[in-house]
Amino acid sequence: MLHYLLSRIISLLLSLAVASLVIFFVIEIIPGDPASFMLGLNASPETIASLKAELGLDQTPLIRYFDWVSGLVVGDFGISYTYKVPISELVVDRIQVSLPLALYALLLSTAIAFPVGLIAASKRGGTADFGIMGFTQLGIAVPNFWFAMLLVLFFAINLRWFSAGGFSGWDAGFWYGIKSLTLPAIALALTQASILARVMRSALIDTLSQDYIRTARAKGLSQRRVLIKHALRNAMIPVLTILGLQFSFLLAGAIIIENVFFLPGLGRLIFQAIIQRDLIVVESVVMLMVFAVIVVNFLVDLTYAMVDPRLRRSG
Amino acid sequence: MTLLSVSGLNVSINEEVILKDVEFIIDQGEVFGFVGESGSGKSMTALALMNLLPKGSDRTGQIILDGKNLIDLSEREMCSIRGRDIGMIFQEPMTALNPVMTIGNQVAETLIIHGGYSRSEAMTIAREKLARVEMPPNRFSPDLYPHEISGGQRQRVCIALAIALRPKILIADEPTTALDVSTQAQILDLLKLLVKEEQMSLLFITHDLAVIARMADRVAVMQTGRIVEMETTRELFQDMKHDYSKKLFAASNYIPETKTKTGGGSFLEVSDVYRAYKLPNRRILDKQNYNVAIRGVSFSIRKGESLGLVGESGCGKSTLSRTILGLDPLQKGRITVDGVEVISGRKMPHTLRKKMQVVFQDPFGSFNPRHKVGRLVAEPFHLLAESLSASEQRERVVTALLEVGLRETDVDKYIHEFSGGQRQRIAIARAMVIKPDLVILDEAVSALDVSIRAQILDLLNELQVQHNLSYLFISHDLTVVRAVTDRVLVMQGGKIIEEGRTDRIFDHPQHDYTKRLLQASPRIPTEWVTKETNQGYHTGKLSEKEFR
Amino acid sequence: MRIPTQLLFGAFLSIFFLVLALVSLIWTPYPVEVLNISEKLKSPEWKYILGTDHFGRDILSMIMIGARTSISVALVAVGIGMLVGVPLGLAAAANRRSIFDDLIMRSNDLVFAFPSLVIAILITAVFGPSAFNAILAIGIFNIPVFARVSRGAALSLWTLEFIMAARVAGKGKTRISVEHILPNIINLLLVQGTIQFSLGILAEAGLSYIGLGAQPPTPSWGRMLADAQTLIYTNPRLAFIPGLAIVAMVLGLNMLGDGLRDYLDPRLRKVRQ
């Protein structure tokens, strides 16, 4: 187990290192001169020079890279060019919206997908299965931002149960915050829940055809008990894989959904930064998102080992 | 006293008749054997008793266990019968256990679900039961997972969980078919012992007549869903009545017709060969580990000779055949074919490759399902120096197909249109089409039913005589090796531990391992083999066939 | 053999939009570059089957050209993914456990850490938004998908004996990959390709919705939805139509993919066993 952990940690650090190199290369090297890029065509040479000095662009790329990375490690993301405040402050502010939203959506999607997948698998070929398969097929096809618009139209404009968008912060109270994240979370969760339920169903059906299920049946376990006690845990491996992948889709989806609901999250931050050509913000926030995805996949890898004893020994 | 009585059992799956009017009785403490070829319905009979038939099955008749007709029971009532009154073990121990559950828990589960035991009580009994199947807790912790133990040990665990509640009857469906001979012998002994000591009945299913002879008190021979003959084991073997039983018996002891062979000089020379595999590193920064598969093997095959290579799984047989074919590199030593050295990989000249071909075990995985037979058989033409025209190719492919007993029209068929035996003929045609001198038969008849096996052995024999072929006959099945080879190598742990003329090795083995192997290999007791039933077995063909 | 309804329905929807896109190349009911404010926000009628938008453009024409935009972006992106990913996956499988295999798999994992939207953001941040960059972003994301799928399928084929037989016949790894492996995984790639195609349509819609895809005046479904958002109170129709178009197209492709898998798989299984 220790060796598995160690090898996973090493690969985690390696992925982070390579990812940061890629991002640095795309943002700081490809444009040639990030300062004049950020300021646009009409900037005077003086402003460009002063921005260059401010960003430390007179240094060699290698030194700039190490400066950037060592800054990231201690939480110093640099200073936003447009907002003129430390990016870490912006991030801390925005993450209070994005992280709860992602978790909320993940929770919703698993809470829906698990029982639904289980029912479909156990009633395979029946009406319930047919209905679930049809519904999830539709769920996958609906673009989440369009679904979000429909939710706004129906629940916010017609029924007035929720506000159409915006987020007033957690100061107004926990439930108030949750309420304003509910429609966005539902919009995000629909597709993911549909995918997860289908994966769950097919993983369970696959597992149910294995030899050890027959052994368990020969022991006298009922169909239902076999499903819960033997099939479920073995089916968790593909389900976990998808769950890990979904996190990155949730993160990406959030960039769009935050725009639909005017939520002041990381997605909106990065989106505005692109429009304002604030490369420093883009660079650091992208790195943060990639970091989150890599760490989540690392955690998924660790859970694999918990589920599957065969992974515990080999690296 | 009658324990189980089955009468008028009919089973059909999706309208197709699988079992027809099956009728038998098993007494208390009796070992009852079912024997037959694949598709005869012997496994389906077992599943019908358990009511675990595949979806779409229909079952009628009477299955009376202890006065209760199992056919009338609801699924819920059946659940309480399974595992408590009837235990069952299956063929594939590698996949029969849940990979994410400890072996102790899997045994304990039987005890827990049938009620009456707390978790800790169940674990205590599970430990005892594991000890009962010779997996004592001091050597095999109940906390082990299935992947941490061998196939034979897994089968022991399966037995333990099947007998945990001392069922009245244990069903064993080909329980040793996937195991090596020595493991098979141990499992068979264990089953016999348990049946006796726990006073269970055993329903034992196998395709292997020798195994059934060793295990069963009474035997039913099955063919296409019917029982064709049912007798006590001794009487059955001494006085077979039904034609099918006789055929089955003759086929399983079949020795191809006598042949006269032209001798020849040494063709393949293997001298002091080593082959090691890199193991994937378990830990980071560990030094590279190697698995030495072959350690210092030397032997030779003469032209026209059949050399047998026997050994249990993992002994290095297959690796050896791959190195000879030039598919795997060797670390040390030399292999020469007709005086030319074999080098693995691209550098190996086609003129050399052309002299050797191979036939594998699996008649299903051996062909690209997307190509027609014509193209499949033509594949080795790649090795010819001059390329053949399409008509020449076709002509040679047809000749090869005719030679192995197939038809010209088969050229345009796909592989899924053929049966297992026919596929093996196609594999032989593919090997023969460029007229090689040496053919490696890697378990080439192991997956076939006995009657088909006999035909393929005949074919191989004919081809050998006609083309003066050398065979390297690799098999775990000692009976077949004995029947068709001139000389035998016995391999263990990557080494050849004994070598000699086939009759000498089988009649007077020298090495302990060879002795153990022969001892373990199931055999029909000689006193049961009467003249009538034994067509050609032990009739001195080996001496007629003597080489040189 | 009976063709399953799912496959038929999926093929019908997919072909419907494909035809729509192709027709738009030579004919649309109205030109979409011309704004006709006097005809704005017309409800569906005989003249404008799906009505007009707030600039008086014919919505049917916009949907047709939008289909063309979506399909071409997604198709080219899937093409990139296949052309790069499949050879990489086949080569990795042929050289199993080599440094090359390791490198391919590691880089795959790395690309998976960048959701296609994040790749798009990186690209647009530097090169500015365009349909080409959307293709690039979705295409890059598709590469590891195809590499992984083809490697996995190829690995299980490499253990089969017919590959051994081909090696005994003196054939090299490249030749075996092309002659024996590829034909046996083509069905799988077809199915995966259909699914990636539908994901590409969704991704394109998302990117153009936030303005990182095809730029105006080129109509795209995502762009139409973005425009409709401000008018959703008064004219929800403008949001319904492009949304339904996306759903129908994606649904069609997914059903086509699933249908193909069910249709092709059992036959394959019969051949193998």
User: Which of B277, B370, B430, B440 is best to mutate for the C interface (most C CBs within 10 A)?
Assistant: B370
| CB B107, CB B160: distance < 8 Å | yes
C33: three-class secondary structure by DSSP: coil
Strand partners, B306: B471
C265: three-class secondary structure by DSSP: helix
> How near does any CA of chain C get to the CA of A11, in Å?
9
Average pLDDT over residues B478-495: 90
Output the average pLDDT for chain B: 87
At which residue do the structure tokens 């109170």 appear? C233
CB pair distance less than 8 Å for A222 and B75: yes
C243 touches A: beta carbon within 8 Å: yes
Chain C residues close to A289, C-beta within 8 Å: 115, 118
Q: Which chains touch C (3 or more CB pairs under 8 A)?
A: A, B
Ordered DSSP codes for A135-203: HHHHHHHS-HHHHHHHHIIIIIIIS-SS-SS----GGG-HHHHHHHHHHHHHHHHHHHHHHHHHHHHHH
Could you read off the pLDDT of C84-128 as tens digits, one per residue?
Answer: 999 999 999 998 888 888 888 888 888 888 877 888 888 887 888
CB pair distance less than 8 Å for B82 and A233: no
pLDDT at A247: 82
**% chain B with pLDDT above 90:** 52
Whole-number Å distance between alpha carbons of B376 and A133: 41
- Is it the case that residue B534 has pLDDT exceeding 60? no
Confidence of residue B541 (pLDDT cuts 50, 70, 90): very low
Q: How far from C63 is each of B145, C19, C222, CA to CA, in Å? A: 58, 12, 11
pLDDT at B172: 95
Could you read off the pLDDT of C126-181 as tens digits, one per residue?
Answer: 888 888 888 998 999 899 999 999 999 999 888 888 888 888 888 889 999 999 99
- Is it the case that residue B285 has pLDDT exceeding 80? no
Q: What are phi and psi of C150, to 5 degrees?
A: -75, -35
- Is it the case that residue B63 has pLDDT exceeding 90? yes
pTM attached to this predicted model: 0.84
Nearest neighbour of B380 by CB, restricted to C162, C169, C183: C169
pLDDT at B310: 92
| CB B75, CB B51: distance < 8 Å | yes
| CB B463, CB B428: distance < 8 Å | yes
B474 touches A: beta carbon within 8 Å: no
Compute the count of residue pairs across chains A and B with CB atoms less than 8 Å apart.
90
Provide the 10 A C-beta neighbour count for residue B134.
16
- Is it the case that residue B290 has pLDDT exceeding 80? no
Could you read off the pLDDT of A134-175 as tens digits, one per residue?
Answer: 999 999 999 999 999 999 888 887 777 877 777 777 777 888
- Is it the case that residue B397 has pLDDT exceeding 80? yes
Could you read off the pLDDT of B119-163 as tens digits, one per residue?
Answer: 999 999 999 999 999 999 889 999 999 988 988 999 999 999 999
- In the β-sheet with B306-310, what is the strand arrangement from edge to edge? B356-359, B438-442, B470-475, B306-310, B487-492, B495-501
pLDDT at C271: 37
Q: What angle do CA A203, A205, A209 make, to 5 degrees?
A: 115
Could you read off the pLDDT of B309-353 as tens digits, one per residue?
Answer: 998 888 888 889 889 998 888 888 899 998 888 887 777 888 888
Read off the amino acid at residue B306.
S
Better-predicted residue by pLDDT, B415 or C1: B415
Which H helix or E strand runs over B291? strand B290-302
Lowest mean pLDDT among A39-48, A283-292, B85-94, C82-91: A39-48
Average pLDDT over residues B224-242: 90
The b/e string for C102-111 (b: 16+ C-beta within 10 A; e otherwise) is eebbeebbbb
| CB A276, CB A1: distance < 8 Å | no
| CB A142, CB A190: distance < 8 Å | yes
- Is it the case that residue A195 has pLDDT exceeding 50? yes
Nearest C-alpha neighbor of B130 from the set B101, B159, B110: B159
Confidence of residue B216 (pLDDT cuts 50, 70, 90): very high
Confidence of residue C268 (pLDDT cuts 50, 70, 90): very low
Nearest neighbour of A149 by CB, restricted to C115, C232, C251: C232
Ordered DSSP codes for A9-46: HHHHHHHHHHHHHHHHIIIIITTS-HHHHHH-TT--HH
User: Which of A2, A206, A219 is best to mutate for the B interface (most B CBs within 10 A)?
Assistant: A219
- In the β-sheet with B266-278, what is the strand arrangement from edge to edge? B290-302, B266-278, B332-337, B340-341
pLDDT at B529: 67
Would the CA dihedral through B351, B320, B303, B483 be positive or negative? negative
CB pair distance less than 8 Å for C171 and B365: no
Chain B residues close to A234, C-beta within 8 Å: 98-100
ipTM of the shown complex: 0.87
CB pair distance less than 8 Å for C113 and A286: no
Whole-number Å distance between alpha carbons of B260 and B399: 24
Confidence of residue A59 (pLDDT cuts 50, 70, 90): confident
Provide the 10 A C-beta neighbour count for residue C269.
11
Confidence of residue C267 (pLDDT cuts 50, 70, 90): very low
Lowest mean pLDDT among A122-136, A158-172, C54-68: A158-172
Q: Which two tokens stand for residue B83?
A: 């595992």
Average pLDDT over residues B354-365: 85
Ordered DSSP codes for A73-105: HTT---B-TTT-SBHHHHHHHHHHHHHHHHHHH
Q: Which chains touch A (3 or more CB pairs under 8 A)?
A: B, C
The DSSP call for residue B332 is: E
B 482-541 → A contacts, CB under 8 A = none
Provide the 10 A C-beta neighbour count for residue B276.
17
- Is it the case that residue C197 has pLDDT exceeding 60? yes
- Is it the case that residue B220 has pLDDT exceeding 50? yes
CB pair distance less than 8 Å for C246 and A143: yes
Ordered DSSP codes for A265-291: SHHHHHHHHHHTT-HHHHHHHHHHHHH
